[in-house]
Amino acid sequence: MKLLVTGGAGFIGSNFIRHMLTKYPDYQIINLDKLTYAGNPENLRDVEKNKNYAFIKGDICDTKLVEKILTPCDRLINFAASTHVDRSIKDASDFIRANIQGTYSLLEAARHKKLKLFLQISTDEVYGSIPKGKSREKDPLEPNSPYSASKASADHLVRSYHITYKLPAIITRSSNNFGPYQYPEKAIPLFVTNLLEGKKIPLYGDGLNCRDWIFVLDNCRAIDTVLHRGKAGEIYNIGTGSEIPNILLVKKILSLTQKPDNFIEYVPDRPGHDRRYALNCAKLKSLGWQKEFKLEPALKLTIDWYKNNQGWWKKLKK
C-alpha cells in the first residue's frame, strides 16, 4: 500500500505515521505538510531515515503539487487542518483556507488520479453540543464554532465527491485526542506543561463542559481499522466512552502530578463553548476495533512523556 498522508507532521498525523510504519513495514508513506506552527519535523525524527518514508514540505491548496505527489500513491489520508477553536474565534480565515479550500484541492487531485480511497479525518465537534444521548453518524451537523463549521463544510465536500464523482471516500469523526507530541495550546498538554512550570491551569467557565477523551494511539488504531475494513461512502465515529466534565479531568491531572486544587484558575468562558459531546461508536466496533487505553493510565503515560521531553515543548511555549 502506498499512502499520501497530509498534515503528517502534526499531532495525530505523526502518531499515525509512526504506527503504520511499525505495523506495516512494507507500506510506503509520503508525508505532505506545510509546517505551520503546529507542524513539527521533530515529531517524526525517529522515522525520517526509514526507506519507506518521505517528507515533502508543501501546501495542500496547491492542487498541481498534490497531483504530482499523488502519482505513486493509491490512498490519501487527510489530517491537514487548522484545529484550535480559540484561534478560529479570533480569526477564521486560516480555517476556511486550510479546512475547506484545502480539502477541495485534495479532492480534485484524488478525483483526477482515480485514487482507491480518500480518508477524511474529522471531529465530533461537527455535531455540535448535545444535552443527552450520543451522536450517530447520520445525525444532522450543527457546528457552533468557525473551526467546527469549517470541518463540517469539508465533510460535506467529501460526501459530495463520493456521490457525484464516485470517489471512494470515508470520513472518521473522533472525540478529543491526547497523548505525546500534542501542541501545548490544547487542553491536556497545556494543563500538564503549566503544572510542570509551576503555573496554574486555566479552566473555562464553571468547568462542567463534558468531553469524551481518546488516547491518540487508540485513534490511530481506529483509523488503521477504517482504512483496511471500512466501506466507501460511510462515516465512522471514533470514541472511547470516557466522558468526563473538564473539572474532573483537571482534578485527575492534579492528582497524578501531586498538585493541590488551588492550581485551578477559573477564566471567563469562550464564546459558543459547546457543553457536551458524546459519540455512538457501534459502527466502528462492528469492524473489530476496541480501545486499549483507559483514561487514567493514558493520562499518566502522557504526563510522563511531557516530563521526559521538556526540550520538545518548552521552545513551543516561548
Distance CA 73, CA 110 (A): 10
Q: How far is CA 290 from CA 135, 179, 284, 287, in A?
A: 18, 18, 9, 9
Q: Of these residues, 53, 59, 104, 125, which one is catalytic? A: 125
Closest-CA residue to 182 (of 6, 304, 15, 7): 15
pLDDT value at residue 97: 97
- In the structure grid, which three cell numbers stand for residue 262, read together? 488551588
CA–CA dist 290, 285 (Å, integer): 6
How far is Cα 229 from Cα 224, in angstroms, rounded to an integer? Answer: 8
Please tell me which residue in 124, 155, 212, 274 is annotated as part of the active site: 124
Give which of 246, 251, 244 is closest to 269, Cα–Cα: 246
User: Half-sphere exposure of 171 toward its Cβ, with a 13 Å CA cutoff?
Assistant: 25
User: Among this protein's residues, is 304 annotated catalytic?
Assistant: no
Which CATH number applies to 2-177+214-238: 1.50.10.20, 3.40.50.2300, 3.40.50.720, 3.30.450.20?
3.40.50.720
> Are 11 and 40 contacting, i.e. CB atoms less than 8 angstroms apart?
no
Predicted pLDDT at 304: 98
The reported pLDDT for the residue numbered 318 is 84
One digit per residue, pLDDT tens: the chain, 318 residues? 999 999 999 999 999 999 999 999 999 999 999 999 999 999 999 999 999 999 999 999 999 999 999 999 999 999 999 999 999 999 999 999 999 999 999 999 999 999 999 999 999 999 999 999 999 999 999 999 999 999 999 999 999 999 999 999 999 999 999 999 999 999 999 999 999 999 999 999 999 999 999 999 999 999 999 999 999 999 999 999 989 999 999 999 999 999 999 999 999 999 999 999 999 999 999 999 999 999 999 999 999 999 999 999 999 998
Give CATH for domain 181-211+242-273+293-314: 3.90.25.10
Residue from 147, 181, 277, 306 carrying the catalytic annotation: 147
pLDDT for position 254 = 98
Q: Other C-beta atoms within 10 Å of 12: how many?
A: 22
Nearest 5°: CA angle at 167, between 35 and 121? 35
- Count CA within 13 A, CB hemisphere, residue 318: 6
The whole-model pTM stands at 0.97
User: To 5 degrees, how large is the angle CA 121–CA 22–CA 281?
Assistant: 35
Angle between helices 102-113 and 146-165 (to 10 degrees): 20
Q: What is the DSSP letter of 81?
A: -
| Residue 140: DSSP 8-state | P
Does the active-site annotation cover 124? yes
* 53: amino acid identity, one letter: Y
Domain assignments of the chain as residue spans, ordered by start = 2-177+214-238, 181-211+242-273+293-314
Residue 185 burial by Cβ neighbours in a 10 Å radius (0-12, 13-18, 19+): middle
